[in-house]
Chain A
Amino acid sequence: MLQEIKIIKHNGKQYIPDPTTAVVPEPFRGRPEISTAKVNEEDLRNICPVGAISTNPVRIDLAKCCFCGECAYRFPNKVQFTNDLRTVSNSHDRLIIHEGKNEPIRLDQDLVRSEIKKLFGHSLKLRQVSAGGDNSCEYELNAAGNANFDMGRYGIEFVASPRHADGILVTGPITENMSKALKIAYEAIPEPKVFILCGNDAISGGIFADSKALDRSVLKDMHVDLYIPGNPAHPLTIVNGILDLIRTV
């Protein structure tokens, strides 16, 4: 017993007191900023491995961005990745970074259904489905529940059965072999339900977007409540994003 107490004492306090204000140190790649500096835009666009950069004016689409940072390494005076970890939104438009407009990314609260805040504000149970995920977002989702990040303190938890869940969180680009199981799991969740896409491969297909082995048609009938960009998304990005969705500001 004394040994256990010693172990706990040596470990110290490891939990993050307030995840909503926690900062991740650089060189973490969070929300990018684009300056108005003049560069060869065609070269800039070509450097991106996932086609997230468009030109005239220069924009970066965080739905596609795999946060490799190559654009910032090659064009440091044009693109900078800040350590701002809040890159989550419920509207695709807000995930597009425009040159010269470097504002924080937030949810469009007008788009959030009123029952979400009313019913899930203090308790949200999610079913996670990996549909071709590479186990990196899954890894960080598990971490979001550990003693460091502890999103359970806000009533956010992952549950075993869709019947016990208030919503579904998908990782991975949605493979053909997994699309049916995803649909069945989604339908098994009682209404009203939340639908979240986590990671750039879930949101846009990411590097797999052109693969014929995907079947993303299941997304057609679904209303997406939250996009959590990242490759993988940082646990603090996940916690803050979900809190912005369920809590009244």
Chain B
Amino acid sequence: MSVLDKYIITKNNKSVDLKAIPVLTYNDFSSLIKSLLQKTENHCLNYFTYPSNDKMQLIACIASDSDASILIFSHVVAQGEELESLSAEISALHIFEREIFENYGVKFKNHPWLKPVRYSKNRFDNKSKIKDYPFYSIQSDELHEVGVGPIHAGIIEPGHFRFICNGEDVLHLEIQLGYQHRGVEQLFLEKKKVLQRNILAESIAGDTAVGHSLAFAQIMESLGNISISEQLSIERAMALELERIAIHVGDIAALCTDIGYSLGANIFAILRTLIINFTQSWCGNRLGKGMIRVGGTNQAFNNDLKKKLIKVLDDFEFQFNELAHRTFKLPSVENRFDNIGTISETQARNLGVVGMTARMANVLRDIRHSHPFAGFEKYPIPTLVLPNGDVFSRFLLRRKEVKQSIAWIRNILDCEKFENPAPMPVTELNLEANKLCIGLTEAWRGEICHCAITDNSGQLTLYKIKDPSLHNWKALELSLRNVEISDFPINNKSYNLSYCGHDL
């Protein structure tokens, strides 16, 4: 078998025939994954089980950043077959193997931590309960454990954090999630109407409503052979960047809150209001719910909105720059964030982290750049990386990305006319039969990957969602090593990962 027969090549939002996906022996499958992931330009987008009839097909999707391609290949698990785990060698695969094990009972030998991911409703072993999660523990008179959650001290989603501490220092942090599991992937199959699925996509993570619903809409348009206008695709990309600006500013405010810098905490939060109120005047919802619809839009961008947005951005940018200029130079701010919770480039690469979490640790990973979609094809966005990987880098990267997104939107407002509003969204969709389609977007947290498979009659038989948090939670765990437990809040806020996006 030549290398070319071993995988099929596709692109972002381009579907492939399900039957054209090569099926390899596990030996070939694992050596191919290993050899591909050795190259720094490649990373694993998704690796999941596709159950059909009585067989289970493991499908791996590897993205290459150098030529915008996605390589897909598979292995069919024989009855009772035990597979050699690849996680010890490639840490980035640990979460996928755990998920496959949890949902389908496929055994992975020598997996370093084959623990449940989210206690999903459809799990293989439904006798296991979330309260019995097997935490690591250390036997020692000097060490103690601190358990926090699932309910935390604030208006925040639930998850359990277990710290093993030596005095004030954290030796190990283990994060157990699953409390938010709502069965989203299953509901995608049960809800048949386009709009129902669209609403579901907006509710995967409400703070990333645009990012997730855009990934969904693009897949549906690809499988349904619907083409949308260039203007609409640019409008969508603008909505995505507005979401990025708003959440980043909110996160900068939250970090200021945690170090007691109240000027930053209050005014950055107020500045966020300017942006989300604009989003509301565009689509009727401050979080962009209702913004993205399949095949069209109910709220087209127009010249009135354009004038308004220019004014909002002028007002916002002046104040943001003035305050950021002050905040980022304050010695007391730098002192609290500098060299805290550092992730090395090697760690980031090994874990396969994506989005901001990768870029703050010197790993260039940005789907807008590597696998462009929507308006990012016509208007490329320059890439940004920072070298240090500490809390300050995550703080600073947000400031830089806000600035970059504003400049990007301004350029579009200068160049585009917005004179041809898109039609209303479609209500009926005929999806192509027996296809697999992968849709990627780069939301503010990072890479969102949706994957849909259709059956003989064009019905969805699998809908797989991957929020960037699935990879990135592990980075937070590693950040806390040998860090004072009192620095947990700033580390946690500096990542601002999604619980519901992870738990689905």
Bound-complex Cα distance A49 to B283 (A) = 18
User: Which residues of B lie under 8 Å from residue A28 when comparing CB positions?
Assistant: 280, 284-285
Tell me the complex Cα distance, A81–B155, Å: 29
B206 in contact with A178 (CB, 8 Å)? no
- What is the minimal beta-carbon distance from B263 to any residue of chain A, in angstroms? 6
The verdict on A11 contacting B319 (CB below 8 Å), with A146-B269, A177-B130 known, is yes
Which residue from chain A places its CB closest to the CB of B266 in the assembled complex?
A147
Check: B290 CB closer than 8 A to any chain A CB: yes
Whether a CB of chain A sits under 8 angstroms from the CB of B478 is no
Is A231 at the interface (CB under 8 A from chain B)? Answer: yes
Query: Which of B31-39, B75-83, B101-109, B176-184 has 4 or more CB atoms under 8 Å from chain A?
Result: B176-184
Taken residue by residue from 139 to 153, chain A's Cβ proximity to chain B (1 for < 8 Å, 0 otherwise) reads as 111110011100000
Our pick among A4, A175, A201 for the contact of B181 (Cβ within 8 Å) is A175
Name A1-59 residues within 8 Å CB distance of B: 3-4, 6-8, 10-11, 14, 24-29, 47, 49-50
Report the Cα distance A108→B209, complex, angstroms.
Answer: 34
Checking B156, B187, B199, B298 against A130 with a beta-carbon cut-off of 8 angstroms, the contacting residue is B156
- A135–B182 touching, CB < 8 Å: no
CB of A70 within 8 A of CB of B281, answer no
Question: Which residues on the B side are within 8 Å of A133 (C-beta)?
Answer: 157, 180, 206, 500
Residues on the A chain within 8 Å of B156, using CB: 130, 138
Contact with A along B166-191 (1 / 0, CB 8 A): 00000000000011111110110011
Query: Interface residues of A, CB < 8 Å — how many?
Result: 67
Q: Which of A24, A27, A177 contacts B299 (CB 8 A)?
A: A27
A191 vs B131: C-alpha distance in the bound complex, in angstroms?
A: 28
Residue of B nearest to A50 (CB): B199
A99 at interface, CB cutoff 8 A:
no
Say yes or no: A210 contacts B284, CB within 8 Å. Answer: no
- Contact among A175, A185, A213 with B151 in the assembled complex (CB-CB below 8 Å): A185
Contact of A158 among B155, B182, B209, B287 (CB under 8 A): B155
- B127 interface residue (CB < 8 Å to A): no
A135 near B190 with CB under 8 A, answer no
Residue of A nearest to B198 (CB): A49
What's the minimum C-beta distance from B265 to chain A, rounded to whole angstroms? 9
**Segment among A61-69, A87-95, A110-118 that sits at the interface with chain B:** A61-69
In the complex, A29→B283 CA distance in Å? Answer: 9
Q: B318 to chain A: closest CB distance in Å? A: 7
Q: Residue A136 contacts which of B179, B206, B273 (CB distance < 8 angstroms)?
A: B206
Q: How far is the CB of B131 from chain A (nearest CB, A)?
A: 7
Q: Does B15 contact A (CB under 8 A)?
A: no
Assembly CA distance A64 to B95 (angstroms): 35
Whether A136 pairs with B207 at a CB distance below 8 angstroms is yes
Q: A135-B206, A147-B266, A148-B273 are in contact. Are A181 and B199 (CB under 8 A)?
A: no
Q: How far is the CB of A81 from chain B (nearest CB, A)?
A: 8
Docked-complex contact B180 and A207, CB < 8 angstroms? no
Tell me the A197-249 residues at the B interface (CB within 8 Å). 201, 206-208, 210-214, 231-232, 234
Q: Are B199 and A135 in contact (CB under 8 A)?
A: no
Separation in Å of the A164 CB from the closest CB of chain B?
10
User: At the interface, yes or no: A167 with Cβ under 8 Å from chain B?
Assistant: no
Task: Say if the beta carbon of B267 comes within 8 Å of chain A.
Answer: yes
Does B196 reach chain A (CB closer than 8 Å)?
yes
Which chain B residue has the least Cβ–Cβ distance from A180?
B131
Residue from the set A128, A134, A210 with the largest chain B CB neighbour count within 10 Å? A134
Q: Please encode chain A, from 185 to 198, with 1 for each CB lying within 8 Å of some chain B CB and 0 for all others.
A: 10000000000000
- Mask, B213-229, CB within 8 Å of A = 1, is 00000000000000000
Is the beta-carbon distance between B205 and A210 smaller than 8 angstroms?
Answer: no
A177, B322: Cβ atoms closer than 8 Å: no
Pairwise interchain contact A138-B289, C-beta atoms closer than 8 A: no
For the complex, is B204 an interface residue (Cβ under 8 Å from A)? yes
Cβ-defined contact, A210 with B290, below 8 A = no
Contact status A134-B500, CB under 8 Å: yes
Interface string of A67-90 (1 = CB under 8 A from B): 111100100000001000000000
Interface set, chain B 64-90, CB cutoff 8 A to A: none
Contact B180 A129 (CB under 8 A): no
Chain A interfacial positions (CB closer than 8 Å to B) = 3-4, 6-8, 10-11, 14, 24-29, 47, 49-50, 66-70, 73, 81, 128-143, 146-148, 158, 160-161, 172-173, 175-178, 180-181, 185, 201, 206-208, 210-214, 231-232, 234
* 20 A–B contacts, CB within 8 A, in A order: A4-B326, A6-B322, A7-B326, A27-B284, A49-B195, A81-B284, A134-B204, A135-B207, A135-B500, A142-B155, A147-B269, A175-B179, A177-B130, A177-B503, A181-B150, A208-B182, A212-B183, A213-B120, A213-B182, A213-B186
3 closest pairs, A vs B, by CB?
Answer: A136-B206, A160-B153, A213-B183
